[in-house]
Structure 1
Amino acid sequence: MAEPQPPARRLVAVLFDEASIERGTPEVEHERAIAIYDLLEENVFDPAGAPDGPYKLTLSIVENRLVFHVADEGDGQLITHILSLSPLRKVVKDYFLICESYFSAIRQSAPAQIEAIDMGRRGVHDEGSRILAERLEGKIGVDHDTARRLFTLICALHFKG
């Protein structure tokens, strides 16, 4: 387990811009809440050029772009970064497909097959995390685990139920 990040370079809140992100089913909202909880439990979040945190992150989707609004604890806007969702589109789609296969396999497949599908699922998840970390490079510093948790959250934002 990694050492907790000092409060100066970490997220303490993640919010969604309700105007740009659709509400989901109760199950989808539950998955989003879990993704936020996991992210807030342990993260490294270091926006380039921003004063020390801790930080609040508001995510929105505007014109097919993911927008990171970073604020301080008092809600003072510090920095905004806009990322195209295009580089993540294929890996998010692949991740959803393999998750469907995984949940189907849990109900009817042998443990060895479930394990193989789960390894594939983790590989696709790692690919998405890597792409996200590359897209954030020079903008927001994140470690591998934070990139994974952010990717999970981005997937949860796309899931409509």
Structure 2
Amino acid sequence: MENLILYGVVAVLLVFSMIRDRAKTKKALMKGLKAFEGILSQFLIVLMLVAIVLAVFDPATISRLLGAGSGFMGIMIASLVGAITLIPGFVAFPAAAELLRNGAGVTQIAAFVSSLMMVGIVTLPLEIRYFGKKAAIGRNTLAFAFSIVAALFVGWMVAR
């Protein structure tokens, strides 16, 4: 129901924008379409990867590796995967939701998403070049530790 309300509001605002300035609205729509085209390929690739993971690993395996019962080892696995993965947040959240639906634990998924957003193993060479080795490694180490702390906090809050 909320989606219908949001779509309705957007439609009304789009019509209002068209009435106000048709050329600007058309330009904005084209710009939005171009941005969507850029995002679509990344989104589809990650969706395919998640589909492959879900096809290869049944919910019992996902639960064993990343479920609530996997404990700290599951948190570490999720954190490491998140740290070395380079995908944008708008793609990571639907992937995380699908993993949750298939047996992954909340704490483990929080570790995955937080390390994904904060740690950049793939981008570390670039970061070293601009900020120096000590600063880049220090930032990534602290971010990795904080992502685990944040995941444990999320798990604790959910358990309450």
TM-score by length of 1: 0.28
Q: What is the TM-score with the length of structure 2 in the denominator?
A: 0.28
**Greater strand share, structure number:** 1
Please tell me whether Structure 1 or Structure 2 has the larger radius of gyration of its CA atoms: 2
Higher relative helix content: 2
The one of the two structures with greater contact order (alpha-carbon pairs below 8 A, sep at least 6) is 1
